[in-house]
Amino acid sequence: MKFALGIDIGGTFTDLVLSGASQHALKVLTTPDDPSRAVVEGVRSLLLNAQIAATSVDRVVHATTLFTNALIERKGAVTGLITTAGFRDVLEIGRERRFELYDLNIRMPEPLVPRDLRLEVAERTTAGGAVETPVDESALHRAARTLLDAGVESIALVFLNSYANPENERRAAAELRRAFPGIALTASHEIVPEVREFERSSTAAANAYVKPLAANYLDGIRDKLRALGIEAQLSLMLSSGGFTHIAEAKAAPVHLLESGPAAGALAAAHLGKGHSRLLAFDMGGTTAKLCIVDDGIPLVAQGFEAGRTRRFMEGSGLPIRVPSVDLIEIGAGGGSIAHTDSIGLLKVGPQSSGSVPGPACYGLGGIEPTVTDANLALGVLNPDYFAGGTIAIHKAKAEQAIEALGRKIGLSMLDTAWGIVNVVNENMASAARVHIAERGRDQRAYTLLVTGGGGPVHGYQVAKKLGLKKMICPPSAGVASAFGLITAPARVDRVATIGLRLDQADLARLEERFRALEAGALASLAESGVKRADATIERAADGRFVGQGFYLSVKLPAGPYADRAELRAAFEQGYREKFTNTPPQVTIEFVNIRVTVSAAAQSASAAGSAGAPAPATHQAPGNRKVYFKESGDLVDTAVYRREHLPAGFCANGPLLVEEDGSTLVVAPGGHVTLEANGNLIVEVA
């Protein structure tokens, strides 16, 4: 029997799942100095414990926060930029928009490329795509040599209007690769061939910034897996919710920045089948994520911001124009540190203790109280079986850290611990309210599906704050993101700028442009081993009513197109879903067209699921004292092992359901039922 291996590296834990005829999972601490070390040690242990030969693994899908963290922490390569004469400051100028109009001390995000490493060459392509001035190759060579002498490891090449005609940029890239074969080079038309110079420049710079790191890491992890005896092709999770092959990932690592969160959203969509409206809530050791899943499909946006200086402020980060699962992410995880602000108020996060030194209870040198410490002090977490018993936990150290914080704010240890948990729950609920409202949804129509080590722990209170009536906790929730990796389809996205008014559209020409994008996407997908017959093609367009400054991405019918009316109807439907009404009698303009080509994983191992549990051996529940605010004190609470829940199990809260990697908390007034597929359905009081 063949198995698929999912590997998800988070800020605190690295999760691994083997899925085939049976499913096996493991959660280990991430090793920040060398993330691949935790992967190798974890995979070796997982194969040994499951008694599965390495040669039985026929698929490996990997997600990591390594590249995102490098960008946020500014630990990427020394990067240079070569651009059109007169445009070196595009990255600095941005859109001249202050995200906080009245903040006199506003701090805009620093460009990834400092001004002294942004150089210009003479060349010009018009907005219509005509080459007005060819590239000055001697100036190009001088610029590249100047950057290399300054210690630059990676170069972004961004020429004006190269989305309209990449000829100058293509020739310059070919010349640089010939003359300087050792340099990592990113040409903007290869990464994001669409209009808007600032966003294209920012995306190309971000890709160049992480490209050397990605090449070294991906080659290294592939070789280390082979050394373990795993010969399967290494695939990488994309931010858009699909996977690609290693060559594509090394060329365009910017597409991997949100790979981990995307995997969690895919897992929720798979595990929540049968529920048309889900809020996928994934809380790990460092961050919490929430994504809307409608009719089994996570929402996808055509771009996002990285490294925001203000977490919830649009415009305070670096724009990245690549497709990404549309989610909200906040610094609220098990390792988030509780502290007091300048006026003595209790705050939690966004700073995290990570895996090293970790929360105080890990006993690895951490002394500041974290969310994990608070949950341990409240009795929610089992100190004898944390992360499936793989990590030794010290409850006394957690209580000492919380007591020290409690003395600052004048609260008892238990009240301080509850305060920490309540603050982080409200932070997550507040972020969720904004995210859901901005997408035109009513949160009350949704069911919360919880994953990650902290999702089941905090989900009940978050659902209660959001006014939700129901929550779902799937099996193996603690490693759901790793499971999501092996359910992901192969996927390729392509985009082109067309600037076409619908009332003047040449539909035959539009069809040609779509088919050219589809051909390129299919060729790339074939490199992941996907057959043309297994591929699904979806079309979309970034459209707007003429006169509007920005555009909305909407799905289009499959084509070929013979009637402008069907295209107008498709755009208006998408516009109404977002904004309710459309302006009367205004012409529609398609700015960009998009193609998504995807195919479900073909190996038998992909058919596995977190799935229904094996018949349970009934065992009476344990009992321990747990603090609930509803009760105002520590109360005797039933503690069940998930693998011992009998078919048809149902019970009233308060109760806990423990399994390797996570603990489901049901407060007083709640009710839980076990479904045949293994999901626990919780009714929220």
pLDDT, tens digit, 9 for 90 and up, residues 311-321: 667 788 899 99
Give the model's pLDDT for residue 608: 44
d(CA 335, CA 338): 9
CA atoms within 13 A on the CB side of 8: 32
Q: What is the pLDDT of residues 196-235, one digit of tens each?
A: 999 999 999 999 999 999 999 999 999 999 999 999 989 9
The residue among 291, 301, 35 whose CA lies nearest residue 14 is 35
Sequence-ordered list of residues with C-beta below 8 angstroms from that of 238, at least 6 positions apart, any chain: 244, 255, 256, 259, 262, 323, 491
How would DSSP label each residue in 253-287? GGGGTTHHHHHHHHHHHHHTTT-SEEEEEEE-SS-
d(CA 685, CA 682): 9
Q: Do the Cβ atoms of 564 and 587 come closer than 8 Å?
A: no
Is the alpha carbon torsion for 339, 342, 344, 350 positive or negative?
negative
Q: Do the Cβ atoms of 150 and 80 come closer than 8 Å?
A: yes
Residue 617, pLDDT above cutoff 70: no
Q: Name the percent of the chain lying above pLDDT 70.
A: 96
Residue 604, pLDDT above cutoff 50: no
Residue 56, pLDDT above cutoff 70: yes
Question: For the ranges 386-390, 474-478, 529-533, which has the lowest average pLDDT?
Answer: 386-390
The helix/strand/coil state of 629 is coil
Alpha helices in 378-489 (DSSP H): 395-409, 413-438, 455-466, 480-487
User: Which comes out higher in pLDDT, residue 72 or 501?
Assistant: 501
Q: Which of the 8 DSSP states describes residue 675? A: -
Q: What is the pLDDT of residues 618-655, one digit of tens each?
A: 666 889 999 998 888 899 999 999 989 998 899 998 99
Give the model's pLDDT for residue 668: 93
d(CA 611, CA 280): 18
Residue 97, pLDDT above cutoff 80: no
CA atoms within 13 A on the CB side of 85: 10
Cα dihedral: 173, 175, 176, 179 (round 10):
160
CATH fold of 490-599: Dna Ligase; domain 1 (3.30.1490)
Question: For the ranges 72-81, 304-313, 345-354, 446-455, which has the lowest average pLDDT?
Answer: 304-313
pLDDT class of 342 with cuts at 50, 70, 90 = confident
The CATH class for the domain spanning 3-71+215-256 reads: alpha beta
Q: Do the Cβ atoms of 168 and 187 come closer than 8 Å?
A: no
d(CA 607, CA 4): 9
Whole-number Cα distances in Å, 495 to 156, 224, 326, 509, 547: 20, 35, 18, 16, 22
The residue among 487, 488, 445 whose CA lies nearest residue 466 is 445
Q: E strands of 49-197, at which residues?
A: 57-64, 79-84, 118-121, 124-125, 131-133, 154-158, 184-187
The residue among 313, 316, 333 whose CA lies nearest residue 264 is 333
d(CA 498, CA 519): 17
Q: What is the pLDDT of residues 572-591, one digit of tens each?
A: 999 998 888 898 889 999 99
pLDDT class of 388 with cuts at 50, 70, 90 = low
How crowded is residue 108: how many other Cβ atoms within 10 Å of its Cβ?
Answer: 14
Q: Do the Cβ atoms of 561 and 574 come closer than 8 Å?
A: no
- Going from N- to C-terminal start, the domains of the chain cover 3-71+215-256, 73-210, 336-422, 490-599, 622-683
Residue 611, pLDDT above cutoff 90: no
Give the model's pLDDT for residue 602: 54
Q: What region does 74 belong to: left with phi over 0, alpha with psi -120 to 50, or beta? A: left
Whole-number Cα distances in Å, 642 to 372, 471, 475, 500, 620: 21, 17, 8, 57, 12
Q: What is the pLDDT of residues 560-576, one digit of tens each?
A: 888 899 999 999 999 99
d(CA 166, CA 160): 9
Whole-number Cα distances in Å, 416 to 153, 331, 413, 464: 48, 20, 5, 21
Residue 445, pLDDT above cutoff 60: yes
Give the model's pLDDT for residue 69: 81
Q: What is the mean pLDDT of the chain?
A: 89
d(CA 387, CA 45): 15
d(CA 493, CA 511): 17
**And the tokens for 313?**
């402020």
Q: What is the pLDDT of residues 143-165, one digit of tens each?
A: 999 999 999 999 999 999 999 99
Q: What is the pLDDT of residues 491-531, one digit of tens each?
A: 899 999 999 999 888 899 999 999 999 999 998 888 877 88
Give the model's pLDDT for residue 605: 43
Whole-number Cα distances in Å, 231 to 5, 54, 55, 384, 487: 12, 8, 7, 37, 20
Section 333-353 average pLDDT: 87
**And the tokens for 386?**
């944390």
Residue 610, pLDDT above cutoff 60: no
Q: Name the percent of the chain lying above pLDDT 90.
A: 57
